[in-house]
Structure 1
Amino acid sequence: MKPHILIKQLLIVLLSLSLVACSESDTEDEAVDRERLTVSWNKDIGNMNPHMYAPNEMFAQDMVYESLVRYGENGQIEPWLAKDWDISDDGKEYTFHLRENIKYSDGSDFNATNVKNNFEAILNNADRHSWLEITNQIDSTSIIDENTFKVTLHDSYYPFLQDLTLVRPFRFLGEKGFPADNNTAEGIESPIGTGPWVLSEYKKSQYAIFKQNEHYWGEKPQVEELEVRIIPDEEARVIAFENKEIDLILGSDLISLNSFKYLRDTEKYQTGISDPLATRTIALNSNKGFTQNLAVRKSIQHAFDKQALIDHLFYGTEQKADTLFASNVPYSDLDLTPLDYDFEKSKALLDEAGWKQKNNSGFREKDGELLELNLVINATDTIQKSIAETLQGDLQKVGIRLNIISEENQSYLQRQKSGDFHLIFNTTWGAPYEPHTFLSSMRQPAHADYQAQLGLPMKKKIDQKIHDVLLTTDEKRRQEMYAYILRTLHEQAVYLPVSYSSNMAVYHDYVDGVEFPNINYTLPTERIELK
């Protein structure tokens, strides 16, 4: 055989072996990659304190920390870290029988002493949690034995078990996670929980990597690791998804409706929409500027063509909302008359209130003042921005000038608390918060609700009714009080319901086991696998 032919054949063999090796390497790399599920979020996860709120992100807290009881299908309260419980005849004492042999992610024991330490850490910071009635109702806690824990209440508080299912603050931190003074309000040492995931690597505002908790007592996740990439910009998130840098986008308001429609219509990806989980609303401040006037608040309601918004913006992903809560929320089926779109009625209300339209600007004035309002939105929420722009156009038609103020998340939340808004977005929280926990929070300046209602002449009566409804054991009285609260808020037009919001999911073909949560703000990942 000629030398040059032999050399050529050797080169072909070497090239073939190289290609095989590369192919095997690629396959191995792909297999390794399939052990890590990559998702994206629009905000940093925070410091993972189970007992505190923003900037802690609820989905991340839920992955690491667990509760005594869990909110199950159809609203059933299910055993979780507590295997069962007893309730005294007067409804004031709850005795929890804890599961045995449960370990925290660091290998330490979960027991009644640890449960009591967590309760004490929360209750020592009770003022911070006073918007949640459960913290006001707990009189004392006690250890019966290593696996038995008792809570005594001041009154018979009917939603007690429901409140224990919440993502925060009644979840449990391992002993080594507590600071030296046990004051978790000021921070924690380490995020040690009993949940299926452990935070293994973290770079603020960039990424967080979770791995399986080797000590987890329940069914372990299907993948070894979960990476959360922090991508505030929605367009960048979509590009990362299309490039397969992200396997799954699941949640509310993580991508725009246009992007969801685009990804769905390509038919290259799997998509899904959950059942309605909460109500997307705008709070109207009855205690600031021109929105103090009921006629102005009602005019805004009648000026907004919500159905046109639903048809042209949401592409069938959400349903138009007419009331603060959907009729299937307990105690909320009240047959309230919607403040529907009525252009002429909106203008007539402003005319009667003395607001006259000026030909030179098209906006209304009274006593030399322009009818000008501010709507505050979250800068990272593309859906809020789209709704705001639509509302801005509708209000302009009746002579109201609406300025859109975009704030980063912390400033946005601070405006809710301080009342520095005429209008501000204020989504309800869904199950298991509705209606009792959401109404309970209205009595404190923790969210936009308190400030929005502060100018109402019957605000004190509303707050008293909320207090009473949470403690009554008389079902008929409870229904009557809920009816008064919800009917009054509706008639006072302090909420502009927009739509009943849903979670959206977009994921690649190789992702399997995607489910929607039955509690808002959580991310069920345990059953997801990468094929």
Structure 2
Amino acid sequence: MSKSSTVVAAIGAILIACLVTGSFIKKVDSQSMPPRPKQGAVHGGTLRVAISKLPPYNLIPFDNSWTGIFLNQFESLIKVDGSLHYYPSLAKSWEVSSDGKTYTFHLRHDVLFQDGDKFDAKAVKTTFDALYNGTLARVESYKDGVFRQLKVVRVIDDYTVQIQLHSPDAAFLTNIATLAGSIASPTSIKNLQKTDLGNSLKGTGPFELAEVIPDQRLVYKRFDKYNWAAGNARHTGPAYLDKVVVEKVSDSAVRAGLLTSGQVDLIDSVDLNDIPLFKDNPNFQFVSVPENGVPWVWYFNVNGFATDDIRVREAVQDSLDVDSLVKNIYQGTAKHAWSHIPSTSNFYSTQLEGAYSNHVARANALLDEAGWTGRNSEGIRTNAKGEPLELVLLDRGLPGRDKYFTEAAQQALRENASIKLTLDTVDQAQGFAKRKENRYSIFHTSVSGYDQGISFIYLFSATGVMNFSKIRDPRLDELLTKQSEAITLEDRTRYLQEIDRYVVLEKKLVLPIAERQSNVAAKSTVHNVDTSFALKRRYIGPYAYDIWMN
């Protein structure tokens, strides 16, 4: 019988939560828990919200696991914060075997789904089996993603469920602590129709979905029976608010106008030009937090025109003064990302800072060495065949400051290294086709999530669904497997940092650009606005459990 490391959650005046990564345990005592609300929190009222977009796929949380608004409806067995500390939620305690393959969760006895179903071990198994079998999520493949190591889910008794994995998965707890591991009522899973957007699914969260106008409006009402808040919540019992009304308003200036005129209480994605309206204004508040996940990065296609040569990839890295461009263009709303791991991550290292970028002479020497020694009538470098050094950046839409950065980078590449950068703006279908056909040199994106090991598998493994660099590298696959199966946090950190060095410095596969901020503005009468952010980036919110209004 294997030894187990036990995570014990004491619910009450003192709450202890533990971070478990295999056999590594870190205790979080009551002093590190979020502060409780000040006396005088008011119950009632409707929070009116204008946000830039609504969930892109459907209203199924498993297909939109980065989307904070679903936290109002659905909960997971445990919760995790940005420092990878875990807290009890629907599970009151859990154990992880010393080999990292067996997870045993002891569930709360007092939880109800919003449709009246009883929450128990069978409900957990029903959800996880449906996800693994592909009958619940419609966009995500859980069998190849979150549950790729899943062997079996067992009901031990009414309130104990055990999950066995084929191999250790260092990201498993983190994965199921998000909306990806949220639990839906068995009845609503059984009755879910293929034509249903997902609005019929029921969870255990503090709010119920009451009204849907697709891609326009969502209305949530308080679930009055709710009384099982996660260990990192700021209060217990039902939510303070009666309702949350969320409207899609794509134009940032219109959102700002709605808030300043009092027609809404909170807005997201505040434009740089509108921040002065709310920051340091006693009638409003402006809250900004770093986005989690992989920063905004340019990925070089190793099978693409010119970027199949590592010298060209390195030259692009060195031709740009990314640090100055980010400071001048984002003006404090983003910071230069030296690494493929965000600086807010436990896995981050300063080792890449200053190791590349802004070495123009070296960039030009590399391009000469690679054979791009000629010049055409535009002043663009050419090779022996007379082909211009024109790199195509495949673009699915550059928002705001990212567009300004790219335009500045186009000019700098031309001036510093005689490289022409062309934007090919495509829709999603065209993007998939051109990626498949290698009709691009550079692809840009940022990836949601706060466990970079998960993202790295998708981005750099030979079979990765987001392998924009088209890399096939046995050494990289080996490192990805090692970090995924690492038993200790120290080992996993070492492997992830080695992967980071490998893709940025050794193989020149990427150019990290910016760690962006998610921000909101609200009336001064709205309290606990900072809790509206989901842990993952891409604010599609708010999470409103702890929010209250005067």
Same fold (TM over 0.5): yes
Distance 1:44 1:326, change over 3 A: closer
In 2, are the aligned partners of 1:377 and 1:384 still within 8 Å (CA)?
no
Match among 287, 301, 314 for residue 303 of structure 2: 287
Deviation at residue 141 of structure 1 after TM alignment: 1.0
Match among 495, 498, 508 for residue 484 of structure 1: 498
CA distance in 2, matches of 1:439, 1:355: 32
Higher deviation after alignment, 70-79 or 474-483: 474-483
CA distance in 1, matches of 2:502, 2:367: 22
Q: Secondary structure at the match of 2:110?
A: coil
Match among 205, 215, 227 for residue 195 of structure 1: 205
**1:307 pairs with 2:323:** yes
In 2, are the aligned partners of 1:322 and 1:498 still within 8 Å (CA)?
yes
Counterpart residue identity of residue 151, structure 1: I
CA distance in 1, matches of 2:159, 2:291: 38
Partner residue, 1:68: 77
Partner residue, 2:422: 403
Q: Secondary structure at the match of 2:264?
A: coil
Partner residue, 2:224: 214
Match among 537, 543, 547 for residue 524 of structure 1: 543
Q: Secondary structure at the match of 1:260?
A: helix
Query: 1:32-61: CA deviations, max 9, x gaps?
Result: 9952332313244542213324xx862233
**1:106 pairs with 2:115:** yes
Partner residue, 2:446: 427
Partner residue, 1:230: 248
In 1, are the aligned partners of 2:210 and 2:221 still within 8 Å (CA)?
yes
**1:49 pairs with 2:65:** no
Q: Secondary structure at the match of 1:117?
A: helix
Partner residue, 1:464: 478
Partner residue, 2:99: 90
Deviation at residue 79 of structure 1 after TM alignment: 0.9
Match among 495, 515, 521 for residue 500 of structure 1: 515
RMSD: 3.2
Q: Equivalences for 1:165-184 in 2 at 5 Å?
A: 165-168=177-180, 170-179=181-190
Counterpart residue identity of residue 367, structure 2: L
Deviation at residue 406 of structure 1 after TM alignment: 3.4
In 1, are the aligned partners of 2:134 and 2:141 still within 8 Å (CA)?
yes
In 1, are the aligned partners of 2:66 and 2:179 still within 8 Å (CA)?
no
Query: 1:459-488: CA deviations, max 9, x gaps?
Result: 222112211322243677545533432221
Match among 149, 154, 158 for residue 137 of structure 1: 149
Query: 1:501-523: CA deviations, max 9, x gaps?
Result: 22212222332221053612363
Q: Secondary structure at the match of 2:306?
A: helix
Partner residue, 2:363: 346
Deviation at residue 72 of structure 1 after TM alignment: 3.3
Aligned pairs, number: 487
Counterpart residue identity of residue 142, structure 1: R
Partner residue, 2:487: 473
Q: Give the structure with the larger helix fraction.
A: 1
**1:260 pairs with 2:275:** yes
Partner residue, 1:4: none
Q: Secondary structure at the match of 2:220?
A: strand
Query: 1:443-474: CA deviations, max 9, x gaps?
Result: 276654x131x245xx2221122113222436
Higher deviation after alignment, 339-348 or 121-130: 121-130
Deviation at residue 186 of structure 1 after TM alignment: 9.1
Partner residue, 2:163: 151
Match among 50, 58, 63 for residue 67 of structure 2: 58
Match among 209, 214, 218 for residue 204 of structure 1: 214
Q: Percent identity?
A: 21
Counterpart residue identity of residue 159, structure 2: N
The TM-score, its normalising length taken from structure 1, stands at 0.82
Counterpart residue identity of residue 136, structure 1: R
In 1, are the aligned partners of 2:43 and 2:241 still within 8 Å (CA)?
no
CA distance in 1, matches of 2:44, 2:438: 47
Deviation at residue 409 of structure 1 after TM alignment: 6.1
Deviation at residue 415 of structure 1 after TM alignment: 6.3
Distance 1:297 1:96, change over 3 A: same
Q: Equivalences for 1:292-441 in 2 at 5 Å?
A: 292-326=308-342, 329-333=345-349, 335-336=351-352, 338-356=355-373, 358=375, 360-366=377-383, 367-379=385-397, 381-397=399-415, 398-408=417-427, 421-431=440-450, 433-434=451-452, 436-441=453-458
Partner residue, 1:246: 264
Partner residue, 1:24: none
CA distance in 1, matches of 2:412, 2:445: 20
Counterpart residue identity of residue 277, structure 1: N
Deviation at residue 379 of structure 1 after TM alignment: 2.9
CA distance in 1, matches of 2:316, 2:116: 57
In 1, are the aligned partners of 2:132 and 2:143 still within 8 Å (CA)?
no
CA distance in 2, matches of 1:275, 1:507: 18
Greater Rg by CA: 1
Match among 503, 513, 530 for residue 528 of structure 2: 513
Q: Secondary structure at the match of 2:254?
A: helix
Distance 1:176 1:36, change over 3 A: same
In 1, are the aligned partners of 2:111 and 2:204 still within 8 Å (CA)?
yes
Deviation at residue 193 of structure 1 after TM alignment: 0.9
In 1, are the aligned partners of 2:47 and 2:265 still within 8 Å (CA)?
no
Deviation at residue 187 of structure 1 after TM alignment: 6.6
Higher deviation after alignment, 145-154 or 473-482: 473-482
In 2, are the aligned partners of 1:42 and 1:380 still within 8 Å (CA)?
no
Distance 1:475 1:174, change over 3 A: closer
Counterpart residue identity of residue 225, structure 2: H
Partner residue, 1:36: 47
Q: Secondary structure at the match of 1:427?
A: strand
In 2, are the aligned partners of 1:138 and 1:153 still within 8 Å (CA)?
yes
In 2, are the aligned partners of 1:104 and 1:194 still within 8 Å (CA)?
yes
Distance 1:151 1:307, change over 3 A: same
CA distance in 1, matches of 2:344, 2:360: 29
Q: Secondary structure at the match of 2:113?
A: coil
Distance 1:90 1:34, change over 3 A: closer
Deviation at residue 69 of structure 1 after TM alignment: 0.7
Q: Secondary structure at the match of 2:275?
A: helix
Deviation at residue 298 of structure 1 after TM alignment: 1.3
CA distance in 2, matches of 1:154, 1:319: 40
Counterpart residue identity of residue 171, structure 1: S
Deviation at residue 67 of structure 1 after TM alignment: 0.6
